[in-house]
C-alpha cells in the first residue's frame, strides 16, 4: 500500500478551488473552497470573480489539504492539475500553481482532463473501474456519454449535449421558479413533494428522426423553454403555479432522457457497467431511476457519493495517481491551460 504514489491534485476549472491528496486509490484529503455564494446574485458563475477567488483560496486550501492528510508537500510523488476544459482564467490559476509546486519540489507534473478526472474519482470509493465502462457525466458545464476503456488513455466520446448542459437546465428552471442558485438541489428537494406526471414536458432528441443523427446526444434548451412557456401561460391565466409539480415534472423529463440514452449506449456497446458523475449525479431521482432501469437490463450502476460528484481536487489526484501507476509520461512544464481540451486528450 505504501508503495502506491502519493499525489496532490488541483482543480480550478469553474468555481470550486479543490485540492485533493490520494495515495493510490486511498483518499487522504479533499479540501474545497467554493466561491458559489459570490456568484449567486448573478444567477451563474462570473469567470473573473471565480479566477480572483481561486487566487485567494489556493495557498490556504493546499495547506488545509496537507494538514488533513498529515503529509508535508515534499512527500508527494507527483502534482496533478486540471488543464481543461473549463473557464480559461480559472484554469490558469490552477495550472500556474501546479507548475510552481512541481518546479519547486522537483516532482513530475500531470495536466489532466477534467472529464476524465470525474470518471477516475469513483475508484476512491468503489475500487478499480470496470473496463470498459460507460460514463455519463452531467454537470453545470457538461453532459456527455463516454466509452471508457482505460481512463488514462482511452476515452471515446459517444454523445454530448448540443445546447445546454443538464445542470444548466436545472439552474435556469430553478431561476424561473424563483428558487436560489445553484438550482439543482432546490429542484431535487421541491420535486420530492411534487407530482412528476402533472405536466408532460418534452424529451429532447428522442423522436425517431432525431435518433438517427443524435442517438446519444442530449438537448435541454427546448425543455427549459417549454417550462418557461408553461409558467407564463399559467401566470397569464391567473392560475397559481405549483412549484413542486413543475419541479417534479421537469426533473422527470431530464432523468428520463439521461437514463434512457445511457442505457441505450451501454446495451449498444455491450457494456455492463455505467458510471454517473458530475454535480447532477447528486440528484436523488436520477440515481434511483438509473439503478431501477439498469437492473432490469442486468447492468450495474456506480455513482460516487455527492461530495465526489461535484468538482473537487480528489478527482484530479485520483486520475494523477492512476497515470503514475500506469507509467504514463508527465506533461511539460510549459503546459498550457486549454479551455476546450478534448476528452480524447487525457494528459495534456
Q: Per the structure block, which three cell numbers stand in for 19?
A: 485540492
Interaction partner, residue 140 (Zn ion, ligand KG4, none; CB < 5-8 Å by kind): ligand KG4
Q: Which is nearer to Zn ion, 119 or 323 (CB)?
A: 119
Please name the residue that has the C-alpha cell 423522436.
207
Q: Which is nearer to ligand KG4, 23 or 114 (CB)?
A: 114
Cα separation, 116 vs 298, in Å, equals 25
| Interface mask toward Zn ion for 119-148; x: CB under 5 A | --------------------x---------
Q: Per the structure block, which three cell numbers stand in for 55?
A: 487566487
Q: Per the structure block, which three cell numbers stand in for 1?
A: 500500500
Interaction partner, residue 202 (ligand KG4, Zn ion, none; CB < 5-8 Å by kind): none
Cα separation, 50 vs 213, in Å, equals 37
Q: For the CB of residue 140, give the shortest distance to ligand KG4 in the complex, in Å.
A: 3
Pick the binder of Zn ion from 15, 245, 273, 311 (CB under 5 A): 311
With contacts defined by CB under 5 A, name the span among 39-47, 101-109, 283-291, 305-313 that binds Zn ion: 305-313
Q: For the CB of residue 18, give the shortest distance to Zn ion in the complex, in Å.
A: 10
CB of 35 within 8 A of CB of 28?
A: no
Q: Which is nearer to Zn ion, 92 or 199 (CB)?
A: 92
Task: Give which of 68, 141, 173 is closest to 339, Cα–Cα.
Answer: 141
Sequence-ordered list of residues with C-beta below 8 angstroms from that of 317, at least 6 positions apart, any chain:
7, 8, 9, 20, 21, 22, 80
Q: Which is nearer to ligand KG4, 24 or 140 (CB)?
A: 140
Interaction partner, residue 84 (Zn ion, ligand KG4, none; CB < 5-8 Å by kind): none
Binding site for ligand KG4 (CB under 6 A): 14, 139-141, 167, 170-171, 182-185, 188, 278-280, 282-283, 310-311
Distances, alpha carbon 336 to alpha carbons 82, 113, 125, 147, 311, in Å: 11, 12, 31, 26, 20
Q: Where on the chain is the footprint of Zn ion (CB under 5 A)?
A: 139, 311
Amino acid at each position: 500500500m505504501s508503495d502506491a504514489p502519493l499525489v496532490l491534485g488541483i482543480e480550478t476549472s469553474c468555481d470550486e478551488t479543490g485540492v485533493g491528496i490520494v495515495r493510490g486509490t486511498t483518499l487522504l484529503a479533499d479540501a474545497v473552497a467554493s466561491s458559489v455564494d459570490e456568484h449567486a446574485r448573478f444567477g451563474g458563475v462570473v469567470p473573473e470573480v471565480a479566477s480572483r477567488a481561486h487566487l485567494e483560496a489556493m495557498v490556504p486550501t493546499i495547506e488545509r489539504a496537507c494538514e488533513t492528510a498529515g503529509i508535508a508537500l515534499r512527500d508527494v510523488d507527483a502534482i496533478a492539475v486540471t488543464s481543461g476544459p473549463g473557464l480559461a482564467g480559472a484554469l490558469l490559476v490552477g495550472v500556474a500553481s501546479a507548475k510552481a509546486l512541481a518546479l519547486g519540489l522537483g516532482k513530475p507534473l500531470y495536466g489532466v482532463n477534467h472529464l476524465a478526472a470525474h470518471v477516475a474519482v469513483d475508484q476512491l470509493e468503489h475500487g478499480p473501474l470496470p473496463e470498459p465502462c460507460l460514463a455519463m457525466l452531467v454537470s453545470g458545464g457538461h453532459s456527455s456519454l463516454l466509452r471508457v476503456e482505460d481512463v488514462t488513455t482511452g476515452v471515446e466520446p459517444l454523445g454530448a449535449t448540443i445546447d445546454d448542459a443538464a445542470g444548466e437546465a436545472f439552474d435556469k428552471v430553478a431561476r424561473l421558479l424563483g428558487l436560489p442558485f445553484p438550482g439543482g438541489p432546490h429542484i431535487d428537494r421541491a420535486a420530492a413533494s411534487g407530482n412528476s406526471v402533472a405536466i408532460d414536458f418534452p424529451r429532447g432528441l428522442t423522436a425517431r428522426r432525431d435518433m438517427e443523427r443524435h442517438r446519444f446526444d442530449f438537448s435541454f434548451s427546448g425543455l427549459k423553454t417549454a417550462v418557461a412557456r408553461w409558467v407564463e401561460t399559467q401566470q397569464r391565466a391567473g392560475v397559481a403555479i405549483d412549484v413542486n409539480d413543475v419541479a417534479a415534472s421537469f426533473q422527470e423529463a431530464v432523468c428520463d432522457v439521461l437514463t434512457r440514452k445511457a442505457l441505450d449506449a451501454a446495451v449498444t456497446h455491450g457494456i455492463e457497467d455505467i458510471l454517473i458523475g458530475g454535480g447532477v449525479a447528486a440528484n436523488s431521482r436520477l440515481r434511483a431511476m438509473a439503478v431501477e432501469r439498469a437492473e432490469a437490463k442486468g447492468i450495474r450502476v456506480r455513482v460516487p457519493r455527492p461530495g465526489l460528484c461535484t468538482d473537487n481536487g480528489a478527482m484530479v489526484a485520483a486520475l494523477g495517481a492512476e497515470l503514475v501507476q500506469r507509467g504514463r509520461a508527465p506533461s511539460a512544464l510549459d503546459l498550457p491551460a486549454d479551455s476546450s481540451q478534448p476528452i480524447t486528450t487525457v494528459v495534456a
